């Protein structure tokens, strides 16, 4: 039956493997426990139903056996009264109820086997659930430690990454180059101002020399 197959799958499940493969281990272990609790409830219900069915079959088998005895007494009475036709009819009923008794016996045996299977599954699932609940906190704590160690290792690798140092050196050179360019532009701007002042002074001297020349020429 499908229920026993699901229970068997849960019982065979390796909790450590489930934790290792899960993206969110805490949710996984909680889900596994919840599934087991739900399956246990279903199995308990099925055990109760199966036991009730077993009792019903036992009752019907007993009633059928009583019928066999009843019709056998009637057959015996008919023989005693020399009523062979009634005896034959009674014996036919006896054989019919005996056939039914065999059928009830087989059904009862099958039902008892099913009850035992369900009880066994319930015990195994209960044991697995106890194991899961005991391991849950431990497994989750182990995974958290492993995850923390992994993050710490990633951080150390990131800090030791040569590409990060090279990028820092490139940035440092870029800043230095910018500073040098700024200084050069300042110097160029300063040189340009001096050239303009010098040109103005030269122009003044030429004007002065021109004025002196004209004065001499007028004299």
**Over the stretch 152-176, which tens digit does the pLDDT of each residue have?**
666 666 555 555 556 556 777 776 7
What pLDDT does residue 121 have? 85
Between the CA of residue 163 and those of 19, 153, 166, 170, 208, what are the distances in Å? 35, 17, 5, 10, 67
Under 8 Å between Cβ of 119 and 68: no
What pLDDT does residue 32 have? 78
What b-and-e string marks burial along 56-81, b requiring 16 or more CB atoms within 10 Å of the CB?
Answer: ebeeebeebbebbeebbebbeebeee
What pLDDT does residue 51 have? 94
Phi, psi angles (nearest 5°) of residue 13: -60, 135
What pLDDT does residue 124 have? 85
pTM above 0.75, yes or no: no
Q: Indicate if 141 and 67 belong to the same structural domain.
A: yes
Q: Indicate if 70 and 133 belong to the same structural domain.
A: yes
Cα-Cα end-to-end distance for the chain: 139
What pLDDT does residue 112 have? 94
Q: Indicate if 129 and 201 belong to the same structural domain.
A: no
Under 8 Å between Cβ of 94 and 78: no
What pLDDT does residue 109 have? 94
What pLDDT does residue 122 have? 87
Q: Indicate if 114 and 144 belong to the same structural domain.
A: yes
What b-and-e string marks burial along 156-167, b requiring 16 or more CB atoms within 10 Å of the CB?
Answer: eeeeeeeeeeee
Record the tokens describing residue 19, joined without a space: 């934790």
Distance CA 37, CA 160 (A): 49
Q: Indicate if 144 and 219 belong to the same structural domain.
A: no
Q: Indicate if 209 and 128 belong to the same structural domain.
A: no
What pLDDT does residue 173 have? 76
Q: Indicate if 67 and 133 belong to the same structural domain.
A: yes
What pLDDT does residue 166 have? 61
Q: Indicate if 140 and 181 belong to the same structural domain.
A: no
Instruction: Count Cβ atoms within 10 A of the Cβ of residue 132 and give its class: 0-12 exposed, 13-18 middle, 19 or more buried.
Output: buried
Residue found by looking up tokens 């700024």 in the block:
182
Q: Indicate if 173 and 215 belong to the same structural domain.
A: yes
Domain tally for the chain?
Answer: 2
What pLDDT does residue 212 have? 67
Q: Indicate if 84 and 143 belong to the same structural domain.
A: yes
* Domain end position, chosen among 142, 160, 178: 160
Under 8 Å between Cβ of 39 and 3: yes
Find the domain containing 191 and state its range.
Answer: 166-219
Q: Which of 83, 7, 97 is nearest to 44 (CA)?
A: 7
What pLDDT does residue 88 have? 93
pLDDT digits (tens, 9 = 90+) for 43-77: 889 899 999 999 999 999 999 999 999 999 999 99
* Domain end position, chosen among 160, 189, 207: 160
Low-confidence ranges of the chain (pLDDT < 70): 1-23, 25, 150, 152-169, 175, 177, 180-195, 212, 214, 216-219
* Domain end position, chosen among 160, 181, 204: 160
Q: Indicate if 215 and 115 belong to the same structural domain.
A: no
Distance CA 96, CA 46 (A): 32
Q: Indicate if 67 and 120 belong to the same structural domain.
A: yes
């Amino acid at each position: 039956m499908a229920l026993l197959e699901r229970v068997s799958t849960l019982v065979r499940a390796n909790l450590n493997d489930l934790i290792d493969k899960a993206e969110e281990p805490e949710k996984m272990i909680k889900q596994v426990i919840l599934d087991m609790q739900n399956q246990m409830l279903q199995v308990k219900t099925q055990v109760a139903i199966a036991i009730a069915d077993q009792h019903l079959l036992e009752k019907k088998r007993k009633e059928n056996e009583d019928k066999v005895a009843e019709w056998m007494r009637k057959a015996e009475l008919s023989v005693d009264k020399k009523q062979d036709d009634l005896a034959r009819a009674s014996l036919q009923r006896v054989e019919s109820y005996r056939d039914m008794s065999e059928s009830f016996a087989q059904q009862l045996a099958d039902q008892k086997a099913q009850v035992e299977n369900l009880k066994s599954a319930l015990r195994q699932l209960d044991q697995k659930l106890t194991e899961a609940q005991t391991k849950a906190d431990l497994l989750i704590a182990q995974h958290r430690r492993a995850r923390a160690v992994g993050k710490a290792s990633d951080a150390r690798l990131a800090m030791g990454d040569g590409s990060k140092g090279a990028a820092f050196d490139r940035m440092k050179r870029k800043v230095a180059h910018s500073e040098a360019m700024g200084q050069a532009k300042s110097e160029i701007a300063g040189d340009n101002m001096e050239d303009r002042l010098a040109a103005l002074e030269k122009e003044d001297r030429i004007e002065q020399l021109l004025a002196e020349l004209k004065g001499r020429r007028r004299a």
